[in-house]
A and B are shown apart, each in its own frame.
Chain A
């Protein structure tokens, strides 16, 4: 009896091993180009992970419906194999390994967040798998000399750069006094480095430089200090919870500051959660639907937003838009390379120079997109309390004029 059990176990183990190693998919099956992606569908990044996946899926369907990808005189369609990385960098690296060595994927799309992209990049680099990523903005990704990593978004250090420059300009070209609070993660710390650079360049002074913990839900101490020293600009970056906590406590503590600049207002749906309290906040964004970039697939931002809403039932955050753009970049590179050779596709990616609805895309040596500036929008509310994000910088796309300085709480 016991021996029988052992034999059954042994045979089934062999069978499982056999099936998993034989049924590995090649890069191109029939008329399909198979891309791989590890995405955070569960865990703490799951909401942005879903935005990313929706962006990818929408672009895949659109490209396939509009004729697919033409390589070597034949038409191909995109298909994506997804795995859930559970918002865990180690798991993401394992899954990248699995996608490449077991599933035979030869081209990858990026995961959500800088941290997870950092975990995956060494793997794709090792196997020489070109990866176009849309959600890893940390500067450190682009200084490692990766050859197969391409990011459609602007690097993190440029996020709030514009805000400081605008503040200096409004101050008659003289340096300003900056108070800043940043979460201690790769992304926010890069945003901080950008501010430090901008401060040095413009002769501004950093008077408060606080670091926020991961489990942040109270920044009353930082804000009390801000009240005491009265800076010209307050900069906060700590993902969604940083943006939400800051707005709530600034309103509660009646902190008056002439300019408030933040990241992640989009994801935090600031005006929806805080209404008029979020008014006048300046937010850095990779994309806004009112920008007038164009392409053949999604036409422009407004059309993209309308189509996206029809499909998924919500207004697309920039995380979805940039994810869709990644597919457009891949399609363009395949067609220019006219081959599925990884080296050739990689070189074609490096030569990318195109416009998409999301912005211009042109990669620097390190793989970051250098042809697309960040935009700043300001939350503006009407008397009825309805709030909207209006682009205020760069001036070329501005749909409203920046309100500066922010009116004092006692006058609101």
Chain B
């Protein structure tokens, strides 16, 4: 245990700001998960691997001399089609089965993606340099890398864009209708098959944006996907499905929680503390659910 963070107020501020910026990025990934979970009732274990794949797209642009920030435009476009292809090949075969089958299927996709990325891009840890510099506050005692600020800003832009799209566009309305009642939507003429494919594509596109941002802010590696899956799963569990403000709040909360766990318990417990929190929340949620169920009896 290390309580340096409480002795130096600037460290506390640094942790909170770092956590918030990181949390917004997590929230973007989680929003994609919440969307497809709500619409298709599929928990996508391969979420993190889609993120990493998106990161590699930005990285390759960087390798070929294009600024990696363009990755936030290119990566989602490519990833949308990757998502649709995965849906057509695998997900539409399991979408009407129980949740367990879908978890197994996406778990398989996750392993396949990891190995394929390793095969295609190699096992080296890579990153894309944005060259964005640093914002310094309070006489250089709090530093915020501009790449993190950029990431948070882009995440917010995409989240708002998506909300508007879901409200105003025809496809957005169809997706929401399918989420509420797929059978009714189908009877009323919504092509649910198309809606499912588009939903999976949109989720993959969001992962693509997040991946591009991660390659600019952190590092990417074929086997680094799982922590992102776990984080987004956890954010969705806390926020509930179809609750965007909830996802944003719980994303930022998780970001700050992680930073504090890092300072107090040590970096080695950072991911561990997320897992612990997940278990606690699942136990608590179940407890709440079972109480509800008793009431229904």
A residues neighboring B (CB under 8 Å) = 42-47, 87, 181, 184, 210-213, 215-222, 224-225, 227-229, 239-241, 244-245, 248-249, 252-254, 267-268, 273-275
Contacts and interface: CB of A to CB of B under 8 A. Distances in A.
A228 B8 contact: yes
Given A212-B268, A215-B227, A253-B143, A225 B4 contact: yes
B49 interface: no
A244 B219 contact: yes
Interface stretch (B69-77, B121-129, B169-177, B244-252): B121-129
A125 to B, nearest CB: 29
**A42, A252, A254, A267, most chain B CB atoms within 10 A:** A252
Assign chain B's interface to a size class. 35 or more
Contacts of B266: 210-211
> For the complex, would chain A's binding face be called helix, strand, loop or mixed by DSSP majority?
helix
A211 B134 contact: no
28 contacts: A42-B115, A42-B118, A43-B118, A44-B221, A46-B123, A210-B267, A212-B267, A213-B267, A213-B271, A217-B220, A219-B267, A220-B14, A221-B259, A224-B14, A224-B15, A224-B263, A239-B125, A240-B124, A245-B218, A245-B219, A248-B129, A249-B145, A252-B134, A252-B147, A253-B145, A254-B136, A267-B124, A275-B129
Contacts of B219: 217, 241, 244-245, 248
Q: Which 3 A-B pairs have the closest CB atoms?
A: A252-B145, A221-B262, A211-B268
Given A215-B227, A221-B263, A253-B143, 10 more contacts: A46-B118, A211-B267, A217-B221, A218-B22, A218-B218, A245-B218, A253-B145, A254-B136, A273-B127, A274-B129
Contacts of B127: 244, 248, 273
B228 to A, nearest CB: 10
A240 B145 contact: no
Interface of B: 2, 4, 8, 10-11, 14-15, 18, 22, 115, 118-119, 122-127, 129, 134, 136, 140-141, 143, 145, 147, 214, 218-224, 226-227, 259, 262-263, 266-272
Contacts of A184: 268
Contacts of B22: 218
A240 B259 contact: no
A268 B125 contact: yes
B202 to A, nearest CB: 26
A215 B124 CA distance: 13
Contacts of A212: 267-268
Contact of B218 (A44, A217, A225, A253): A217
